Structure 1
């Protein structure tokens, strides 16, 4: 379902996050980088540094930032004398050469609104100038800013639902969108309070999902906050729904969350957490976004997004959804794709 706020929580399949592996003289760091250049489909890569100079292969069960879905050689389109591509060109290359690789790798069960986005690892200018034209296509979980987030387990076996763990707060981004995870003491759009697992079976229309989420999120909010009066704080309970496309590939999880009462069509940022400090420990059953995980300070490479994932110029909701309104009887809903 189209989100109430275009771009909010969306990580579309055609979004391309391009990372350029570091160049330079041969060294220990270069040898580690070479391991990434030599990775094959089904292998996973991890790094900590923004320039990927420490990139190396890791077991996919461990924390990783990139799962290789295939390789692509673009020599035919870009001979040795071709100039180094700009950001727009890299996006086109990723879409043309890596989108189908991801679909094939996932046996055509890649959630177009899920947490995994199609990405590429590209040669740097030094290697490009020497004629190197091989790419690593892959899947990656990224924050809205483009920063790579750790993932655990192969994408082939994971639930692809685009959700965060309880206790995560997400920033209010530009143009009325939802941004990266932030400390809850900072201004944020929503605080995630729980994850609801819908049952297997035929797709549940949005109104039926809303009925389930309304009941379950109210109960989750009561436990999470210790029965706090959210209305008195200018807050309300809301939730996400899953689209039929996501449902078809097995995405069944959706977030319950708390946000401030919108002003007209605009989300409102608020500070601090409403979690009951004496409540039970949170269950972080949805890696990679746990309460301990923060995105990198800087994205590794240029975050590239197709037109379908850009927020609307006006920042207003589409006709399919409107912002939350306070209710005296039950929580209301938004339907951001998350």
Structure 2
């Protein structure tokens, strides 16, 4: 099922192509800014105390790591129930393929190394249930050039929740127990990226593509075809929009309601959640940035997940070996017609749309 999006406008159907977060398990590894990780240990010999306590070289399978500094110099083991940016799925020793005299890999070589050594580890760790379009991507923590020269050849394979830019976002709970649906908590806004893409979480006061207004939990059971998901999401998202905005006239603001759907391969591994969101009416096939929030300031408190879905609006400044979660443009295709439920039309300005991913 190809990633795509459909908009139902007042004048007819407009198909728009956007991006989905694709998991590195299906080969979408893009190891960015590896120096951001290796710089932790670069710049001359380290003290023995530093080498003993740096968690990046001590963590084992099932442990979680967190850090705040872009160079990972403050990396520490944390309870996986707490916010973390890396969950170790295994340790790979690549000495046989890269003996001591082997040159330090460039970014392309690290990508190949990660694919060959860590994709399978992630699948095994999750008992074969890694959502290829879910929120988790396969990543590695790699040795720096000095250690490589000294013959160190161990990698930490792991899972991360990454923003579309590749920046690490906080994750909560072990990936073994979490729904992998690529969803956000209500009130999170997503930037409009380059080339008509959906970008990272961002403050709603800044230009953005979408504002998340809620999450729908689909029932267990057989896969629901996209048109059936659309029927459910259309009704639930319209209701959420009324509650979230306090009945605001979205049409007057040139805004409309849209939603996500789950692909069959995601459904097969248990991903059942999908976002309802609000975006600007597109211009042709292009998304349009808008500013501010449509949340009713006098509305009821928001219901967020526990543990929370991704809520960060300040992702790490630089990626550190995380795969790039991006959506590759696909040729536009005509949207399916909405089902005629016989229910009253939604309030003015709430025009259901759907995004399939």
How far off is 1:62 after superposition? Answer: 1.3
5+ residue gaps in structure 1?
Answer: none
Does the alignment pair 1:89 with 2:109? yes
Question: What is the aligned-residue RMSD (CA, Å)?
Answer: 2.3
SS of alignment partner, residue 103 of structure 1: helix
Q: 1:252-299: CA deviations, max 9, x gaps?
A: 0000000000000100000000000101111220655454x2343412
**TM-score calculated relative to the size of structure 1:** 0.90
1:249 corresponds to which residue? 269
Q: 1:118-171: CA deviations, max 9, x gaps?
A: 010100111111110100101110101111111111101000000011000000
In 1, Cα distance between the equivalents of 2:19 and 2:327?
A: 10
Q: Do 1:321 and 1:334's aligned partners in 2 also have CA atoms closer than 8 Å?
A: no
In 2, Cα distance between the equivalents of 1:84 and 1:46?
A: 26
Q: Do 2:140 and 2:322's aligned partners in 1 also have CA atoms closer than 8 Å?
A: no
Q: 1:39-97: CA deviations, max 9, x gaps?
A: 11111111111111111211111111111111111111111111111111111111111
1:11 corresponds to which residue? 22
Query: Where does 1:123-134 land on structure 2 (aligned, <5 Å)?
Result: 123-134=143-154
Does the alignment pair 1:262 with 2:305? no
Query: Where does 1:1-338 land on structure 2 (aligned, <5 Å)?
Result: 1-4=1-4, 8-14=19-25, 15-16=28-29, 18=31, 20-21=37-38, 22-23=40-41, 24-26=45-47, 28-33=49-54, 35-285=55-305, 287=307, 289-291=309-311, 293-305=312-324, 309=326, 311-312=328-329, 318-319=332-333, 331-337=351-357
**TM-score calculated relative to the size of structure 2:** 0.85
Q: Do 2:215 and 2:276's aligned partners in 1 also have CA atoms closer than 8 Å?
A: yes
Q: Do 1:3 and 1:318's aligned partners in 2 also have CA atoms closer than 8 Å?
A: no
How far off is 1:217 after superposition? Answer: 0.1
Q: Do 2:183 and 2:275's aligned partners in 1 also have CA atoms closer than 8 Å?
A: yes
5+ residue gaps in structure 2?
Answer: 6-16, 337-345
Q: Which protein is bigger by CA-based radius of gyration?
A: 2
SS of alignment partner, residue 238 of structure 2: helix
In 2, Cα distance between the equivalents of 1:86 and 1:7?
A: 30
SS of alignment partner, residue 89 of structure 2: strand
